[in-house]
Each structure stands twice: as C-alpha cells, then as structure tokens.
Amino acid sequence: MKLGMLTACLPQWDLAKIAVWAQQEGYQALEVAVWPGTGGRDFEASHLPVAQFGPRQAEETRALLARHGLELSALAYYENNLHPDPARRTEIRTHLRHAIDAAQALGVPYVGTFIGRDWTKSVADNLTEAERILPELVEYAGERDVRIIVENCVMEGWHPDGYPGNLAYSPELWEWMFELGFYLNWDPSHLTWIGIDPVATIAPYADRIVHAQAKDVELDPAARQRYGFFGKSAKGGDPWDMGWWRYRVPGLGQVDWRRVVDRLYEHGFTGTLSVEHEDPVWSGDEDRVTQGLRIAHRNLRPLIVS
C-alpha cells in the first residue's frame, strides 16, 4: 500500500510544483486531476493535457515523476456519464476517452470517474440507460489495458432535490456496476454519512477495491435533528450544503483510519490510499490546503507499512 494524494485540491499549481511539494512532504503517489479546464474550483483542476497528449508529454510526465520518486496511481476525471444534456454527455464521454488514452500512454492502470445520473429520470430508468451506453467505455478502456474506477460519492449536489446524483453510492449499486465491468475507488467518508459502516464493506468487495481515497467526514447529530437525513431544504445557493455533516481531512472526523487501513491490509489491498482534500476548515488558500494535506499525511503515514 502507498500513501498518495489527489491533485485536484491545488488547481492553480502545475504538476511539476505539486510533484516537488509531494516528495518533500513524504507522499508516495499522485492521483492526477485531468479535467479539461483550469477553473477555480478544485474539481475542475487540469494537471495533464490529456486531450492533446502525445509521446513527448508522456515522456516528460514519466521523467518528472521518476525525478521525485513518485508513482502515478490514477488519472481523475469525475464527471456525470449519464448527464441529461446529450451534448454535455458527449463532451464528457469524449474527454473520458482522452483520459483513458493518456493512461495507456503513461502505463497508468486506472482512470477514475462517476457513473452519474440523469436527474430528470427515475433510478430504474437510469440503470437501464447505463446498461445500454456504459459497457462501450469499459470495453474501450479494457482494449488499452486500463480499468475504469468509480468513486462511491453520492454527489447529492447534482440533483435539484439533493438526492443521489451518482448511482454508485451503496454496495447494492456496486454489485450492479461490477457486472458492467467497473472497479471501485473506495471512499469511506460517503459511506459514513449515509449510515453504512465502511469497514464492513471492505471484505465482501476486496477484489474490486483497486484504489482507495482517504477522506474523512464530521457528523453533527444535533443539526441532523433539525434538518433530517436529507439535509437542508433551503441551501442558500450552495447545493452541497447539507447542514449536518462536512468533509474533513483524515483524522479530523468520524472515520476510524486504524481499522480501515488494517482491514485493507487484511484483505490484500496493495493499491494507493489517496488523500482527497475537501476539508472546508483547511481550504481557502494554498497555505491552508497544503497544511491540510500535511495533517492528513501525519495521521495516515504511521499506519502504512514501509
């Protein structure tokens, strides 16, 4: 097992700067964000130009990581592959293929994304649609010796009423997507707030957990008494504000990381545990973000066998 970090929390840094910092701070691997733009929001970070990725870019990227003793654990493009707008869905699928091509060129085994959801349709209709259109992407990746990994994030902010916007949030849905050929980028934070014991999900699905994200979550039971499980009805323009929980860096929330890492080891996990920093306390500027990453490293590194 290696301790890595998802680069999306540093959208204004280039990959070279991130690699220098990650090496200095003791990280071992990078899960590299490859969104097409360079927007200010972390989930729009673009640290590799996968749409224009050729042999020169691949050679330079490999050399950069080698200089700093880092592995490239996965490419990250977490978007809605069932988007209701046909034009937007085509854009997403095209860029995902670019990410898969870049992964092949770099010898990276995984590309991360979401199943997503068409929020204008029922869950049943979405599952039927996914079964129709998504196997082609799995096949495209497989032909290039790449696996598509799906994070189990609920993505409630994608739905106008705050319902799940990514149909991969529960073990029931994992079993469905495994049948389509996907693998799991396992994240315990999402399981925790929806009431599923994350540790209990490791053993049954160990053969499909090939990459993991380290993100914590802080629950506020008193606020849940006011808002209920589904969170605030009036979100004040922020679709992600549930009101009774928030993401934290590992060690500052409810996830029991000793049990998580121990159980991953017990069931043979040899992939990367990648810190996904979305902690609002340690956000706002690059100094706070990097300090949050240091806190995560300090809490997780002692658990990783050298």
Give per-residue pLDDT as tens, 74-111: 999 999 999 999 999 999 999 999 999 999 999 999 99
Which of these, 91, 205, 99, lies nearest to 147 by C-alpha position? 99
Q: With H, G, I as helix, E, B as strand and everything else as coil, classify residue 242.
A: coil
In which band, very low, low, confident or very high, does the pLDDT at 41 lie, cut at 50, 70 and 90? Answer: very low
Whether the pLDDT of residue 199 is over 80: the answer is: yes
**Average pLDDT of the chain to the nearest whole number:** 96
Q: What is the pLDDT, as a whole number, of residue 44?
A: 75
Which of these, 300, 246, 299, 302, lies nearest to 273 by C-alpha position? 300
Contact 245, 230 (CB under 8 A): no
Number of structural domains, the chain? 1
Q: Which residues pair with 207 in a beta bridge?
A: none
- Distance of alpha carbon 185 from alpha carbon 271, whole angstroms: 10
CATH code: domain of residue 84:
3.20.20.150
Whether the pLDDT of residue 71 is over 50: the answer is: yes
Mean pLDDT computed over 176-204: 98
Q: What is the pLDDT, as a whole number, of residue 236?
A: 86
Q: What is the pLDDT, as a whole number, of residue 306?
A: 79
CA dist 226 to 14, 232, 285, Å?
43, 9, 32
Whether the pLDDT of residue 296 is over 80: the answer is: yes
Q: What is the pLDDT, as a whole number, of residue 37?
A: 77
Mean pLDDT computed over 56-65: 97
Phi, psi angles (nearest 5°) of residue 218: -110, 125
pTM of the model: 0.96
Q: What is the pLDDT, as a whole number, of residue 140?
A: 98
Whether the pLDDT of residue 165 is over 70: the answer is: yes
Whether the pLDDT of residue 40 is over 50: the answer is: no
Long-range contacts, stretch 177-180, CB < 8 angstroms, 24+ apart: 177/115, 177/130, 177/150, 178/208, 180/130, 180/131, 180/134, 180/135, 180/138
Determine what percent of the chain is predicted with pLDDT higher than 90.
96
Task: Give the range of the structural domain holding residue 140, as residue numbers without chain letter.
Answer: 2-303
- Of residues 44 and 194, which shows the higher confidence score? 194
CB count within 10 Å of CB 88 equals 12
- Distance of alpha carbon 60 from alpha carbon 167, whole angstroms: 36
Q: What is the dihedral of CA 256, 113, 176, 2, to 10 degrees?
A: -40
Whether the pLDDT of residue 167 is over 90: the answer is: yes
Q: What is the pLDDT, as a whole number, of residue 43?
A: 56
